[in-house]
Structure 1
Amino acid sequence: MKHFSTKDNLQIIYEDNHIIVINKRAGDLVQGDKTGDTPLADIVKAYIKEKYQKPGNVYLGVVHRLDRPTTGIVLFAKTSKALPRLNKLFKDKKANKTYLAITKGKPPKDKATLVHWMKRNPKQNKSYAHEKEVAESKKAILHYELQKVLNNYYLLKVDLETGRHHQIRSQLSAIGCPIKGDLKYGFGRSNKDGSIHLHAHKLTLVHPVKKQELTFTAPLPDDPLWNACK
């Protein structure tokens, strides 16, 4: 059963005049695509328009994206002043993103840094992790740490150093640890709700206007495996 976001059930983690932070549900699109499904950005705009009784168009800037089957933190800019500053924070790697992933295989080490060269195949909407640099590839770095051993699964904490297309999914699969539900990257079967067990759990950054450091945490989805991680 899918529970997509609407303007009436948005899971809002934080909101002020300049930014709004949402806990994205599995299946929500962050930005519009060829499916024509209503993206989260439009749902947030509708929420803002109604809550603040704003006439005309509502401004909302998309700062970063999450894959459709992934859950967790998505940050939007509510002002044109905040957006370029947030974009710069992300570009300069001053926004620290921590993910949680539930994987099938046990990683070779309990804690390690993975470095691959990612090459994207747009037709397949898939990225391949190579051990060495290949043509048109981009360097991808992440740090993982085993947090918990579950029945048949493993909970990993992942800190991203780069933000490549499908980076965590591809890199973990490359070391024999496909994410639960992720058919595209080697898991044996899909989750019933179309999700994968990858959650954008924490984001730390300096507020684009107020300049204080903020840390946002997204509650885990409500399912038996995630509940076992709490």
Structure 2
Amino acid sequence: MPVPVLYEDNHVLAVVKPPGILSQEDETGDPDMLTLLKQDLKERHGKPGNVFLGLVHRLDRTVGGVMVFAKTSKAASRLSESVRNRDFGKTYVCVVQGQPAKKQGRLTHFIRKDSKHNRVTVYDKAASESKEAILYYEVAAASGRYSLIAVRLHTGRPHQIRAQMAHIGCPLAGDLKYGAKPEAGISDIALWSTSVSAPHPVTKEMFSFHSIPSGSDVWTWWTDEQLEAASTMLGSLR
């Protein structure tokens, strides 16, 4: 499967992950981004032997959009440090069923992961083995029973956007795991990684890579102008 390349230098590779592709290999043996991109780098650059590519962050299998990889171990270490220091900005757009009570706000919950069932539980207060989960959101547009929402993560917990939005009564369209009602014509969970920003691991200059969803399902319900506006709403928020 072709993977669009947004940017590449000797240290960083930014691409658009297609929905349905794993971020890294798992027990299913299905195609994953790391394996696909390593093979692509090997072929495009004629590299012998193994190709290094570091996974800096992940997207759920059903989620498409911007992903950034490290092409050297030094870049991987420095980008991972940016993630830990929360200098690694991530924004998303999603389509939810319903509309939040407030047009914009901050959601603070506590999330506990059940690895056996690949699901998380959201709590309003700290619970045993839970971790704090914080995100910011803003409603960009509404149409009928659905809302287009911009999201910026402050923490990066498993299934965080999906679970927190469902917890406030607005599950993502197509996300049956977290309570969305089945709808004809929706095959993917309506969540897209619109931008990733961070200090470059070598030059230290800020980079920002951008993508808006297109092509199928719920994304066709909105104009490119609406999607573009939603994708930039929270970009400057820290």
Q: Same fold (TM over 0.5)?
A: yes
Aligned to 1:82: 75
Q: Distance in 2 between matches of 1:25 and 1:101?
A: 15
Identity percentage of aligned residues: 39
Deviation track 1:195-230 (CA, whole Å, cap 9, x = no partner) reads 210001011111101211111101313125313142
Query: Would the aligned equivalents of 1:181 and 1:191 in 2 still touch at CA under 8 Å?
Result: no
**Paired residues for 1:100-139 under 5 Å:** 100-139=93-132
Q: Distance in 2 between matches of 1:55 and 1:152?
A: 53
Query: Would the aligned equivalents of 1:17 and 1:78 in 2 still touch at CA under 8 Å?
Result: yes
Query: Would the aligned equivalents of 1:26 and 1:194 in 2 still touch at CA under 8 Å?
Result: no
By percentage of residues, which structure has more helix? 2
Deviation track 1:150-182 (CA, whole Å, cap 9, x = no partner) reads 232100000100000100000000001100100
**Paired residues for 1:11-160 under 5 Å:** 11-160=4-153
Query: Would the aligned equivalents of 1:141 and 1:162 in 2 still touch at CA under 8 Å?
Result: yes
5+ residue gaps, structure 1, are: 1-5
Q: Which runs of 4+ in 1 moved over 2 A?
A: 190-194
Name the Cα RMSD after superposition.
1.4
More off after superposition, 137-146 vs 147-156: 147-156
- Aligned AA (1:48): L
Q: Distance in 2 between matches of 1:72 and 1:229?
A: 18
Q: Distance in 2 between matches of 1:138 and 1:47?
A: 37
Name which of 167, 172, 175 aligns with 1:174: 167
Identify if the C-alpha distance between structure 1 residues 193 and 31 changes in structure 2 by more than 3 Å, giving closer, same or farther.
Answer: farther
Q: Equivalent residue of 2:174, what SS? A: coil
Structure-2-length-normalised TM-score: 0.90
Structure-1-length-normalised TM-score: 0.93
Tell me by how many angstroms 1:12 deviates. Answer: 1.0
Equivalenced residues, count = 223
5+ residue gaps, structure 2, are: 225-238
Q: Distance in 2 between matches of 1:76 and 1:196?
A: 23
Name which of 191, 195, 205 aligns with 2:198: 205
Tell me by how many angstroms 1:38 deviates. Answer: 2.3
Query: Would the aligned equivalents of 1:23 and 1:219 in 2 still touch at CA under 8 Å?
Result: no
Tell me by how many angstroms 1:75 deviates. Answer: 0.9
